[in-house]
Amino acid sequence: MTTTSLKLTDELKSRAVAAARIRGVTPHAFMVEAIRAVATATEQRASFIADAEAADAKMRRTGMGYDADEVHAYIRDKIAGKPARRPKAKSWRT
């Protein structure tokens, strides 16, 4: 494990200390968790964007896509616990 030094404004340090106290952890543990949470969120967002870009490229390459209304109905049925048929990809090129 390496040691890293952070330069924080007095105001931010006070907020971190107060937030740590509320959570019942040390300021150090609070900051480590905050960095971990933001790093994880950033990685997940990058993965989401990469997946979306790959899906868009595939759609443009194949000319196949999904009707948004059918996708929304499928999701609503799944959430409601109803039997749901997966939408079928359709050609969107004319």
Q: 28 and 56 share a domain?
A: yes
Regarding whether 94 and 75 lie in a shared domain, the answer is yes
**Would you place residue 70 in the very low, low, confident or very high pLDDT band (cuts 50, 70, 90)?**
very high
Provide the β-strand partners of residue 90.
Answer: 65
pLDDT value at residue 94: 67
Q: How far apart, in whole angstroms, are the C-alpha atoms of residue 32 and residue 36?
A: 6
1 lies in a domain?
no
Name the pLDDT band for 71 (thresholds 50, 70, 90).
very high
d(CA 36, CA 44): 12
Beta strands in 1-94 (DSSP E): 64-65, 90-91
- 56 shares a domain with 19: yes
- Residue 26 in domain: yes
Estimate the share of the chain in helix, then strand, then coil, as percent rounded to the nearest 5: 65, 5, 30
- Residue-number span of the structural domain to which 94 is assigned: 64-94
Q: Are 44 and 17 members of one domain?
A: yes
Mean of all residue pLDDT scores within the chain: 96
pTM: 0.74
Whether 56 and 85 map to the same domain: the answer is no
Which band of pLDDT confidence, cut at 50, 70 and 90, is reported for residue 93?
confident
The number of folded domains in the chain is 2
